[in-house]
């Protein structure tokens, strides 16, 4: 796998290298909430019929309410944020895009596949920001994002549900701006493949044409609408995740140097020799995330239970 497509969550690779069965592994290599939103009952017709417009409208209404999307901004549900990332470069003529060097690597891969030139600084006609950034947790301001005129600006807020006050969703009314949301991380529902593009209505129409009809399955529509209507679950989960992130920081303190960063869905630590610690934890069937650009940075998602935290603590103390 190339560095541009290097991801966490690749438990099959962990099993191939270190052995064991998939069910034995504790996967802390992603920022996916390990205590996901509880799935609602799914009526049989969602499995047997093509997705209908009423369910799509209900999903969009729930998204507009949950993310407080201003009137005049269009919302397009899609089969995952990754699908949107792959097609977004086609919204503008090939040019140069600015992408921060230490961020989610699928954006650069998508633009290069569309024959854009990718740069890490300077004046460009395209721009991608991840808010909060993966893996460091940096938050962007509207002034920073809109500091220069660009024909295409993508704001990826896949992790922003842990800090809704930092959302830049209001920028989606600007020409050329697309804000991305998803149910994979905070909601822990990566398997249903549900993402959203927020942009001006004419931009949403163009993206919908790229994706084609029935892009989102009926079950995903139903689950997504139920999740986004449950504001109480979201508020309770934010509080719990922050407490769990603090617990993880304390657990990692003996092996980490300096102050950790990240979000309350993942933490990034300077551990000195990341490959060695990654290997030690893997021998205890705990999978973490190392990066090709750093020998010392190790990223961990949050253990979902006390038992998982105890297991991690024991592995950290092992030789």
pLDDT reported for residue 115: 97
Listed in sequence order, the residues at least 6 apart from 204 whose beta carbon sits closer than 8 Å to its beta carbon are: 74, 75, 76, 197
Same domain, 185 and 297: no
Same domain, 189 and 241: no
Same domain, 95 and 212: yes
For residue 9, what are the CA distances in angstroms to 26, 28, 74, 283, 294?
10, 8, 32, 17, 19
Give a yes or no: residue 37 inside a domain.
no
Task: Out of 229, 247, 272, pick the residue that ends a domain.
Answer: 229
pTM as predicted:
0.95
Contact 154, 128 (CB under 8 A): yes
Residue-wise pLDDT for 58-97, tens only, equals: 999 999 999 999 999 999 999 999 999 999 999 999 999 9
CA angle at 105 for the pair 90 and 7, rounded to the nearest 5°: 125
Which structural domain range is residue 313 located in? 3-30+232-317
pLDDT reported for residue 7: 58
Q: Which two tokens stand for residue 294?
A: 């750093």
Question: Could you give the CA distance from residue 77 to residue 61 in angstroms, rounded to a whole number?
Answer: 11
pLDDT band at 129 (very low <50, low <70, confident <90, very high): very high
Give a yes or no: residue 204 inside a domain.
yes
Q: Look at the chain and report how many structural domains it folds into.
A: 2
Same domain, 109 and 216: yes
Listed in sequence order, the residues at least 6 apart from 13 whose beta carbon sits closer than 8 Å to its beta carbon are: none
Same domain, 195 and 55: yes
CATH at residue 126: 3.40.640.10
Give a yes or no: residue 41 inside a domain.
no
Same domain, 148 and 251: no
Same domain, 215 and 244: no
Same domain, 108 and 239: no
Give a yes or no: residue 39 inside a domain.
no
Task: Out of 229, 245, 270, pick the residue that ends a domain.
Answer: 229
Residue 144: half-sphere exposure toward Cβ, Cα within 13 Å: 11
Which residue bears the tokens 């000195």?
Answer: 272
Contact 180, 195 (CB under 8 A): yes
Listed in sequence order, the residues at least 6 apart from 168 whose beta carbon sits closer than 8 Å to its beta carbon are: 131, 140, 142, 145, 155, 157, 179
Q: Which two tokens stand for residue 94?
A: 């090939």
Residue-wise pLDDT for 219-271, tens only, equals: 999 999 999 999 999 999 999 999 999 999 999 999 999 999 999 999 999 99
Rounded mean pLDDT, 32-39: 98
pLDDT band at 101 (very low <50, low <70, confident <90, very high): confident
Contact 196, 187 (CB under 8 A): no
Neighbouring CB atoms inside 10 A of 50's CB total 8
Report which of 13, 23, 317, 79 is spatially closest to residue 219, judged by C-alpha positions.
79
Same domain, 223 and 245: no
Same domain, 202 and 245: no
Whether the link from the prior residue into 64 is cis, omega within 30° of 0, is: no
Q: Which two tokens stand for residue 285?
A: 């069937």
């Amino acid at each position: 796998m190339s560095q541009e497509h290097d991801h966490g969550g690749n438990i099959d690779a962990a099993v191939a290298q270190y052995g064991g069965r998939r069910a034995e592994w504790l996967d802390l290599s992603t920022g996916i909430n390990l205590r996901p939103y509880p799935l609602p009952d799914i009526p049989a017709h969602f499995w047997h019929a093509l997705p209908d417009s009423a369910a799509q409208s209900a999903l969009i209404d729930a998204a507009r309410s949950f993310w407080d999307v201003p009137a005049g901004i269009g919302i397009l549900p899609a089969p995952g944020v990754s699908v949107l990332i792959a097609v977004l470069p086609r919204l503008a003529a090939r040019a140069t895009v600015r992408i921060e060097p230490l961020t989610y690597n699928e954006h650069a891969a998508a633009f290069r596949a569309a024959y854009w030139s990718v740069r890490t600084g300077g004046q460009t006609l395209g721009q991608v920001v991840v808010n909060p950034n993966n893996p460091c947790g940096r938050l962007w301001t509207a002034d920073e994002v809109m500091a220069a005129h660009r024909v295409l600006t993508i704001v990826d807020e896949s992790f922003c549900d842990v800090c809704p006050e930092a959302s830049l969703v209001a920028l989606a009314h600007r020409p050329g701006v697309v804000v991305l949301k998803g149910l994979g991380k905070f909601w822990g529902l990566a398997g249903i493949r549900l993402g959203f593009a927020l942009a001006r209505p004419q931009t949403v129409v163009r993206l919908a044409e790229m994706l084609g009809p029935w892009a989102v399955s009926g079950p995903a529509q139903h689950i997504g609408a139920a999740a986004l209507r449950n504001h109480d679950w979201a508020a309770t989960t934010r509080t719990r995740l922050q407490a769990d992130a603090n617990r993880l920081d304390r657990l990692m303190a003996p092996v980490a140097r300096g102050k950790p960063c990240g979000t309350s869905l993942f933490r990034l630590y300077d551990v000195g020799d990341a490959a060695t610690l990654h290997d030690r934890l893997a021998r205890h069937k705990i999978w973490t995330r190392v990066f090709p650009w750093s020998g010392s940075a190790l990223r961990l998602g949050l253990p979902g239970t006390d038992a998982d935290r105890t297991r991690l603590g024991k592995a950290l103390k092992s030789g």
